[in-house]
Amino acid sequence: MFPRRTRSTALTSAPTDWNLSFILKRDLPLPERLAENVRALREKAGLTQAELAKRANVPRATWAHLESGGANPTLAVLDAVARAFHVTLEELVAQPRGAASYFPREELLVRKRGDAEIRKLLPEPLPGVEIDRFGLPAGVRMSGVPHLEGTREYLMCEKGEIELMVTGETYRLREGDVVAFRGDQRHGYGNPGRVAAVGYSVVLMVR
């Protein structure tokens, strides 16, 4: 057995008095969504309309009209604006997103692997990243799935004790411990304790 390594919230329900209108954006007509996206991107960049108009090589008045919500720009203008922000045309005209998105636990993907429960913590796809919460009842073991070559995985024990088996070696984690290892190897998890264990796995895949 290897020596123990040095130690280096998700909402389950929304308060009933919350007004979620600030989270859930209404569907906007194309000119309005374009205006909101352009304005948000400009403010994020910390630039003025004149500075962005010069970067995109469009008249200052054209840029102001884009942010007014009443513009009907040509494809050439849209392409110039997208290039100025280094975004795609799709991102430029997509429905604006709210500052936050609320996902009730019922909407999160949950899988069972034997007696173990695996809950996906990324409701929206994030290329190259997986974050899982898994629960292991006392005495339960669970096989891991090797990922692509070069993948890194980080395992953190939140509650109880978790054993990580990697190519014949065993790491025992207590609450707060973390192990980093190559996720492209054969590995498995176990709960050697007498109470249920909870762990979190972060997988960073090669791209």
pLDDT category of residue 133 using cuts at 50, 70 and 90:
very high
pLDDT of 27: 62
pLDDT of 90: 84
More confident residue, 87 or 135: 135
Poorest-pLDDT segment among 53-62, 107-116, 119-128: 119-128
Q: Which domains occur in the chain, in start order?
A: 21-93 (1.10.260.40), 105-204 (2.60.120.10)
pTM for the full predicted model: 0.57
Strand order in the sheet with 141-143: 141-143, 187-190, 162-166, 169-173
pLDDT of 19: 40
Summarised one tens digit per residue, pLDDT across range 181-205 is 999 999 999 999 999 999 999 999 8
Residue 145 to residues 3, 169, 179: CA-CA distances in angstroms?
24, 17, 17
pLDDT category of residue 60 using cuts at 50, 70 and 90:
very high
pLDDT of 2: 39
Residues 6+ away with beta carbon under 8 Å from 26 = none
pLDDT of 179: 97
pLDDT category of residue 12 using cuts at 50, 70 and 90:
very low
